[in-house]
Amino acid sequence: MLVGFSLAVQKVVAQENLGSHDSSESNFKPYTQNIKNQNFSIEMVPVKGGSFIIGSAKEDAKDPAETPAHKVKVNDFWMSKYEITWQQYDAFVFGEFGSEQFQATEKLAAMGIDAVTGATTPYVEMSFGMGKETHPAVNVTHYAAMQYSRWMTAKTGVFHRLPTEAEWEYACKKGQTDTLDDLSSVAWHSGNTQDKYAKVGQKAANSLGLHDMLGNVSEWVMDQYSKDFYANSPQDNPLNKPTKLYPRVVRGGSWKDDITRQNCTSRQGSTSKWKKRDPQIPKSNWWLTNAPFVGFRLVVPTQQPTPEQMQEYWLKAIKDFGR
């Protein structure tokens, strides 16, 4: 089912939450997000919104799902400079969850956040021995990535979420990521890696300053995957809001994909096979067992949504029986 879902264009809820998130011209610049009681930060890069052509012109399209190319508009947002790393993600998995770990309870209540919980710890080792720390977190479900956004919101008081598919493609295209002669200078792919991902930020950034948009790990975006969404998509900040567990969209290609998959328009849908080796029923809400090539990055929209709209973005878990 296709559901158009416009991004909130609400007045900012709580000014004091925003701090550096004032999007006026003078303040719409890169910033470093510190995270309460953690010894790491997350670098954010501004992406000035605008209109662009999403998808591939028919003669270029390798996949009909990338068509019809059509004009859409996205609002301003910040996007994390790098894919979220294991160090950043494990703080959520293995961290403390007492109220003292987060923003003041009243402040969070105003954002509609009561308790914050973390992912279950995985039974198997999820980096598959490819490296932790500043390597990208992988095998993370779409739900888990959204709950990480919620955790980040509670940690910082600033609304975080996954990018929409349109925002992701906009940031990729506006950054001229796939128009280079030498894609290997920006992307880790099957032709220049040894069957594994690399630490984030080793390849050159795109012109917006975003690293690893192509290659390294594929990245979750908000949307349900639907091959005919582009034929029906709204023009203003489109989002195909997920109502089913599968398929949901990942973008950008990974270390497993060859160079032809490293571009701004290729769309891939998740499948239940990504949890093939989860021996439990129901299968984990939090972990994939067969997707060491799927990670994510976060965005912060300049126009922060209402508490009700925030809940809509973080979605609810759907039980997974693997069939």
Partner 1 sequence: MKKNKNSSVKNSMPRREFIKNSSLFTGGLLMASSFLSPAYANKVKNDKKLKLAVIGCGGRGTGAVSQALIADKNVELVAMADAFEDRLTDSYNNLNEMFGGAQINVKPTHKFVGFGSYKKAIDEADVVILATPPGFRPQHFEYAVAQGKHVFMEKPVATDVAGIKKVMAATEVAKHKNLNVVVGLQRHYQRSYLEAYKRIKRGAIGDIVSGQVYWNSGGVWVRPRKDNMTEMEYQMRNWYYFNWLCGDHILEQHIHNIDVANWFIGEYPTTAQGMGGREVRNGKDHGQIFDHHFVEFTYPSGAVISSQCRHQPNCMNRVDEVFQGTEGSSYTKSNESELKSYKKGVIYKHQGEDDVNPYQQEHNRLFAAIRQEHEVINDADNGAKSTMTAILGRMATYTGKQVTWDEAMQSNLTLVPDEDSMTFDVKAPVMPDEQGNYPVPVPGKSKLA
> Interface residues with partner 1 (CB under 8 A)?
87, 90, 93-94, 120-129, 132-133, 276-282, 290, 319, 321-323
Break the chain down into helix, strand, coil percent, rounded to 5. 25, 20, 60
**Minimum distance of partner 1 from residue 319's CB (angstroms):** 7
Q: Strand 77-80 vs strand 299-301: parallel, antiparallel, or unpaired?
A: antiparallel
Place of tokens 């790491």: 40
**Nearest distance, CB of residue 87 and partner 1, angstroms:** 8
- Which of helix, strand or coil describes residue 220? strand
Number of residues assigned to the chain: 323
Of the pair 294, 299, the CB lying nearest partner 1 is at 294
The counts of H helices and E strands in the chain are 7, 10
**What is the Rg, in whole angstroms, of the alpha carbon atoms belonging to the chain?**
18
Q: What is the DSSP string of 304-315?
A: PPPHHHHHHHH-
Residue 178 CB, nearest distance to partner 1 (Å)? 26
Q: Residue 17 Cβ, how far from partner 1 at the closest point, in Å? A: 30
Q: Indicate the residue among 62 and 277 with the shorter CB distance to partner 1.
A: 277
Nearest-angstrom CA–CA distance, 6 and 10? 11
Taking the complex as a whole, the smallest distance from the CB of residue 292 to partner 1 amounts, in Å, to 9
- Whichever of 52 and 128 has its CB closer to partner 1, that residue is 128
Choose between 121 and 232: whose C-beta lies nearer to partner 1. 121
Cα 212 to Cα 78, 82, 143, 162, 294: the distances in Å are 16, 7, 22, 16, 13
- Cβ proximity to partner 1: between 20 and 280 the closer is 280
Minimum distance, C-beta of residue 190 to partner 1, in the bound complex (Å): 12
Instruction: Specify the residue, 161 or 261, whose C-beta has the smaller distance to partner 1.
Output: 261
Nearer to partner 1, 61 or 318 (CB): 318
HEC assignment per residue over 251-318: ECCCCCCCHHHCCCCCEEECCHHHHCCCCCCCECCCECCCCCCEEECCEEECCCCCHHHHHHHHCCCC
The residue (of 88 and 302) whose beta carbon lies closer to partner 1 is 88
Calculate the alpha carbon distances from 316 to 25, 242, 271, 299 in Å.
35, 10, 18, 19
- Least separation in angstroms between CB 64 and partner 1: 25
Q: Report the nearest approach of partner 1 to the CB of residue 279 (Å).
A: 4
Contact of 193 with 255, CB cutoff 8 Å = yes
Decide: residue 259, CB within 10 A, 0-12 exposed, 13-18 middle, 19+ buried: middle
What is the side-by-side strand order in the sheet with 31-34?
31-34, 41-47, 77-80, 299-301
Tokens of 235: 């023009």
Least distance between partner 1 and beta carbon 191 (Å):
16
Nearer CB in complex with partner 1: 105/280: 280
